[in-house]
Chain A
């Protein structure tokens, strides 16, 4: 008997007809059309246009907006800032989350209390996380700033660019450790006990087992988290930047997504803002494709 004709992602027993599924899909597709496809196309079109801030005259300028971007010192600065910011945030987040997940996996008593507290920042808005750290690091009143100064270092994120960068990296990492932690912990708990026991019988201690068995097995999880951390650092940290530093001082924390907003809404340089949007979209697209390629290889999480 020939195998039944099977479409991917369709149930073996299913309904036929077009009217009902079209009706079911309509709300989703309408929202996507209005708030997703039309804006994306407009960004694409806008990237090739040059208009004055009042929209009175519009010229088609081919790739001029992009070329202007690559020549613009402030855009190159923004790219550098974004790279430093996302890399620092990524490394700090994964390392701390990894240590905490390893420790949680080892302890028996108090495990659920630890887990509950470490997960808390997930509930807190990035903007609020930013506000909390802005207070701690405030040069006039902040307790952490006081501590740093008492060690003899100068500290003022309102004037010093690297201080400001440190502040937003801290706030962004603090908010995102919990996300990495829960996936790493789930991955650790999913590692078969028999593997670890066999290694223990061969004389491998807990630390050695962690690096030689757990970390390689967690490879896909770590990869996934790295991608997600980049997405987070690139896009979701907008709120932290806007609430805390406004991209300053002197562009020291002006990450790409913040620059799109600044150029589009404050400087009203719409063509440049649209071109930046297009570049960011391309980047987001690449990240998603990279992540999607690995979607099937993902381990099964249970916790």
Chain B
């Protein structure tokens, strides 16, 4: 602080309290609505103090959209995306910083190009790829006329068709989201700052490439991995478009989609109390992660956008 400015400091506190009010107001009203009965939530204006039906509403939400299962799905998907992204990014970042091979720059650019296209812009074709991930193989079969080749060889007429459907499955929810240019880039930047002497020393001691990776590079990256994992967990938990598209089975979707299905529409009963209790329940795990691991979360947020 350069000088004392009591008035300005006071104004700053006021502004920040305003900011906090802005952040908390929707959350507070969600809590109020979530704790009332359906009749009470229709009152205008809404009461300012919470009622005592919160657990009841949670129970209703729980049975209405099978929330227990949805929360489990969200957890599996978020953890799966986190572990998947971190591992494939660590491996590919190691390959492009620590190995000299002919297609190194090509690999780098192939990965980097994917940074540019979020899943939202290629919805339909990506969906088709997941609906039948074996499609490219089918193309090859069609291209080389393998069916007729087989017919010619064996005299039997068969249609060769392959299918690998990932709709309504965990792999369908997780796999398309784990390729990550930004995570790869983050680890690459970090590896470039690791002292050269470490590898030279490890080599003198006769360590192989993978041993160097496991015993030296991985432990050094620990803080980066933790920080990134938090961001990726939030990313996975809060996914919307992808689970919406590739789950048709109500028990295979995620909690966020469950909340969406609880919102009252014009032709349903106005059960805002249930929808709000479900929303609060769904945001609880990521909010706890951010509150408990705030320092790591900020590091992850700032690092992963560099």
Contacts and interface: CB of A to CB of B under 8 A. Distances in A.
B76 interface: no
A96 B196 contact: no
A114 B16 contact: yes
Interface in B198-215: 199-200, 203, 209-210
A284 B118 contact: yes
Contacts of A9: 96-97, 108, 188, 192
Interface stretch (A63-71, A72-80, A232-240): A232-240
7 contacts: A29-B111, A100-B19, A104-B16, A108-B1, A200-B2, A236-B120, A277-B125
A1 B2 CA distance: 52
Contacts of A236: 118, 120
Question: What secondary structure prevails in chain A residues at the interface with B?
Answer: helix
Contacts of A285: 116-117
Contacts, number: 345
Contacts of B103: 18
Contacts of A217: none
A212 interface: no
B121 interface: yes
Which DSSP category, helix, strand, loop or mixed, fits chain B's interface?
A: helix
Interface stretch (B56-64, B141-149, B172-180): B172-180
A38 B114 contact: no
B100 to A, nearest CB: 5
Contacts of A103: 11-13, 15-16, 19
Given A11-B98, A15-B209, A31-B88, A131 B286 contact: no
Nearest to A158: B266
Given A24-B91, A125-B237, A239-B241, A15 B13 contact: no
A143 B123 contact: no
Contact of B23 (A121, A193, A205, A295): A121
A295 B181 CA distance: 15
B228 interface: no
Contacts of B99: 14-17, 20-21, 24
B287 A133 contact: no
Contacts of B115: 288
Contacts of A106: 1, 5, 8-9, 12
Nearest to A179: B301
Nearest to B26: A132
Given A10-B100, A17-B101, A25 B44 contact: no
